[in-house]
Amino acid sequence: TLRIGGFSPKQTFILERWDTFKTSGQLVGIEECKSSVNGFLQIPVASLRTDLAIKVKPAAGGNGSRPGH
């Protein structure tokens, strides 16, 4: 599990998972994740065999970041 802080508490985010090992990069999954009351995202990551990039975007209707971050 990957834990990342600095997000607005209790907000929903869209996570895009990208396989960066492939030459052109490839989107391999999209999911939603909700931040904790302390502004952390808990992102499950299982059995990495190559590189992986995760793009975090606010879900519709919010910016998801705390002021000053």
Mean pLDDT over residues 40-64, rounded? 83
What is the CA angle 58-63-64, rounded to 5? 65
Query: Residue 46's pLDDT is what?
Result: 81
Mean pLDDT over residues 50-60, rounded? 88
Distance CA 36, CA 25 (A): 30
Please determine, for residue 64, whether its predicted confidence score (pLDDT) is greater than 70: no
